[in-house]
A = this chain, B = another copy of it.
Amino acid sequence: VSARIESDRLRVVLVATRNPLNIGAAARAMSNFGFLHLRVVNPYEPSFREARSAVGASQVLREAEQFHSVADAIADCTLVVGTTSVGRRELQHPVRSLDQAGPLLRKRLASSRVALLFGSEKVGLSNEDLSHCHWLLRVPTRQEHRSLNLAQAVAICLYELSRGGKMPAPGTRSGTARGKKMAASASELERIGALLLDALSASDYFPSASPGHHEEKLRRLIRRLNFSASDAEIWLGMLRKIVWRLEHGGKTAD
């Protein structure tokens, strides 16, 4: 519930965006991560609200607020953070990497509104835009190719913002699937080993006649895999069939 309220306090501000498809794609990412308040400053294309790229996020676009200046767009926010792809050209501002910025943004969102500014595709935020910012945020990209697609930058920032938060994971915690599975018991593994030994013996797999030794090797071999109890059941069934067939003659026995 509190994560909901916090994401409700963020304002994503797109400044002088040229391609309306980028506005739509940004809206989609916002909706994906539960940040629903878009603000648009002087978009190049006034018809951005119809951008088809806003798959599933038409409401975000419809309810987007439009402004004629950055000053107006951020007036009700207590923290204004600009995004930049350049390193530290603007020494006037502290530049934080996104993973450093995340906790700071979340902390502020716990109590008041935060604006996250994204400049135009070509030139980013102007010095005038930047002058409204408390500090700058940079997604760490490769020095040789720094400039992210606008909507991808929005998506990555919002992923990071929702990341730390205990945003309600759908269903239960992921990753439980594996943990949830009961591991096979030693006796099940032992039965797999015994059947495998039978199958291999019937197939003349072992060159020499020292079954004890082979048994140990098979045991270790099987323990190195990680059988769940349910999978062990399946393997036992398969091996039983194979052994039965081996002992009663192949289908194409000659």
Q: What is A's interface to B at a CB cutoff of 8 Å? A: 25, 28-29, 31-34, 53, 55-57, 87-88, 91, 93-100, 135, 138-143, 145-149, 151-152, 155-156, 159-160, 162-163, 167-171, 174-175, 177-178, 196, 199-200, 202-205, 221, 224-228, 231, 234-235, 237-238, 241-242, 244-254
A242 touches B170 (CB 8 A): no
When distances are taken between beta carbons in the complex, the residues of chain B under 8 Å from A31 are 142, 145
A174 touches B138 (CB 8 A): yes
| Alpha-carbon separation in the docked complex, A139 to B169 (Å) | 10
A96 touches B203 (CB 8 A): no
Given contacts A231-B225, A245-B246, contact A177 B147 (CB under 8 A): no
A96 touches B242 (CB 8 A): no
A249 touches B250 (CB 8 A): yes
| Alpha-carbon separation in the docked complex, A194 to B34 (Å) | 45
Report the copy number of this chain in the oligomer: 2
Instruction: Determine how close the nearest CB of chain B comes to the CB of A70; give it in whole angstroms.
Output: 22
| Alpha-carbon separation in the docked complex, A234 to B100 (Å) | 29
A29-B149, A246-B251 known; 19 new pairs, CB 8 Å cut-off, are A29-B148, A33-B142, A56-B145, A96-B174, A98-B159, A140-B163, A143-B170, A151-B152, A152-B155, A156-B156, A199-B238, A203-B241, A221-B234, A224-B226, A224-B228, A225-B225, A247-B252, A248-B250, A248-B254
| Alpha-carbon separation in the docked complex, A224 to B180 (Å) | 12
Given contacts A155-B155, A178-B135, contact A32 B142 (CB under 8 A): yes
